[in-house]
Chain A
């Protein structure tokens, strides 16, 4: 497709997207669901570039989400800062955390990397539950409404918060598509698919990984930032496995490296949970099963099922000779 037509199409889609809640009736529940879908989609986009492009499974993205949420809560409750400064603070904080984590895990690959990132998530949960500075098990309450006084903008409910959430979503999608076109994105793909080729082409895999991590973490953290305003309180449950499974499912369910994949994935999951729920435990079983079945039986996601014709023109996903991952 011509890139000019593509841009126009995307712009049209972006404008239509804004009116989706209105088209669906505009009730409070619809706005609440749409805002959450936007927030969780942004959260998932952060993980998307690590899993789909870099090919590593980071299980610490709930920590980035929580860092964004907790920093926002602390800055707005204790220091009385507004949303712009709390966003800056959240991004700064998450860059520090991601750099530290990236540095520690620089040498690790595959499951050891995932294992350590998972451990980070568990430890972060224990710390959030026990540390009084973060409110302990009660969490932090009384986060003020999202207010930009210099614009005369104040979001008292989900309907008024929707423009912010939607804008954040558009920015995240733009960042991901810009990342995929960038040198870094292409280097990440090369490291993912053929590390030896990457090294011989003068690409330093460890540096690329760290850089992708530093691009990815602020995206997820900014979702945490808005989530803090949306919920008005933050507690250790932002570190629950639910968010991790939600992100992972959203990233893989439609098919990897599809720009709108994570958004559609999150939307599907949230619509099921908000409007067709079978109770928390059954919803857990459904979400987990979707994740398992997608990975085990639909390597190209749902999109790979509905668009099999497209596969005729795509080269084989797994190269023929690839067998055993490198032992390190």
Chain B
């Protein structure tokens, strides 16, 4: 295990983390909402893609939009059910409800897809690239490219377009936004549908790297937490940087210390930052 190889692994892993966290970042930064079912939605995205490719025989490029559509539907239904809580800004209840949704998704996915581990194979993940003594796959390149593009487009949309302004306005002051004629419900539903699509896309791209299990949502979400909190809650650029940093950290920690405790170590970093800068991490809603 040489240093450069770990650097490559870390960069790929970092872009994967950032991509997985993007839905949460938007949810939090733009609408001040949380979703503890994020990990299970990631799991669902991975399994829908897997089912499309290996059971229905769909091409990978068709299975991705299908998974994203399922993600949109799940996100929409979730937000539709808890719309009253969202309008009341009852974050405590929203947290528990989304946790409940995650649990339901886990049960439903295990019922439908079975509880055995699967491998999601894509046209890219089986093609290796050797460059000197470095090794990676075309899937890794796809992850990095899509993550960079996604973040660039997202930043542009949030900062520069009407949709982005509306969403930020709703985050800043839902009541005022409503008075100004913004359809607050639609913004909330839209943001949650976006979260569903974003996490499904991330799952379709990232899940081929490791075996997938219906129970994986539980730990998967923790990386997202760390990325979102370290990046400055809800900040798009911050999430990208934090994702990348966390990826590098995990790669090196896994290679040189212990892969089993890599998640625990990432969490220890989070705790350390929270103790040192408890209040300094949060930025104002809609902040970039």
Contacts and interface: CB of A to CB of B under 8 A. Distances in A.
Interface of A: 51, 55-57, 59, 104-108, 110-112, 114-116, 118-120, 122-123, 125-127, 130, 241, 244-245, 248-249, 252, 280-285, 287-289, 291-292, 295-296, 318, 323-325, 327-328
Given A123-B267, A291-B96, A291-B97, A110 B104 contact: no
What 3 pairs across the A-B complex have the smallest Cβ distances?
A: A284-B107, A107-B278, A288-B104
Interface in B99-113: 99-104, 106-108, 110-111
A245 B111 contact: no
A248 B261 CA distance: 28
A292 B81 contact: yes
Contact of B111 (A106, A126, A281): A281
26 contacts: A55-B92, A104-B275, A107-B274, A107-B278, A111-B95, A115-B34, A118-B36, A119-B225, A126-B219, A245-B103, A281-B111, A284-B103, A284-B106, A284-B110, A285-B107, A288-B103, A288-B104, A289-B104, A292-B101, A295-B85, A295-B96, A295-B100, A296-B81, A323-B175, A324-B89, A328-B282
Contact of A296 (B34, B82, B89): B82
Q: Main SS of chain A's interface residues?
A: helix
Q: Main SS of chain B's interface residues?
A: helix
Contacts of B270: 116, 119
Contacts of A56: 92
B126 interface: no
Contact of B104 (A55, A248, A284): A284
Interface residues of B, number: 51
Nearest to A124: B264
Contacts, number: 146
A120 B271 CA distance: 10
A120 B219 CA distance: 11
B91 interface: yes
Contacts of B281: 112
Contacts of B92: 51, 55-57, 110
Contacts of A287: 103
B112 to A, nearest CB: 9
Interface centre among A110, A288, A325 (most CB of B within 10 A): A288
A122 B263 contact: yes
Given A56-B92, A107-B278, A119 B267 contact: yes
Contact of B282 (A57, A112, A283): A112
B174 A324 contact: yes
Given A104-B271, A292-B100, A327 B219 contact: no
Given A125-B219, A126-B263, 13 more contacts: A104-B274, A107-B279, A122-B222, A126-B260, A126-B264, A241-B103, A248-B99, A248-B100, A282-B111, A283-B107, A295-B100, A296-B84, A323-B175
A328 B226 CA distance: 18
Contact of A116 (B95, B101, B219, B274): B274
Interface in B131-146: none
Contact of B108 (A112, A120, A281, A327): A281
A24 B261 CA distance: 48
A285 B111 contact: yes
B169 interface: no
Contact of A119 (B97, B103, B226): B226
B62 to A, nearest CB: 28
A108 B274 contact: yes
Interface in B106-159: 106-108, 110-111
A104 B273 CA distance: 10
B191 interface: no
Contacts of A112: 229, 233, 274, 281-282
B93 interface: yes
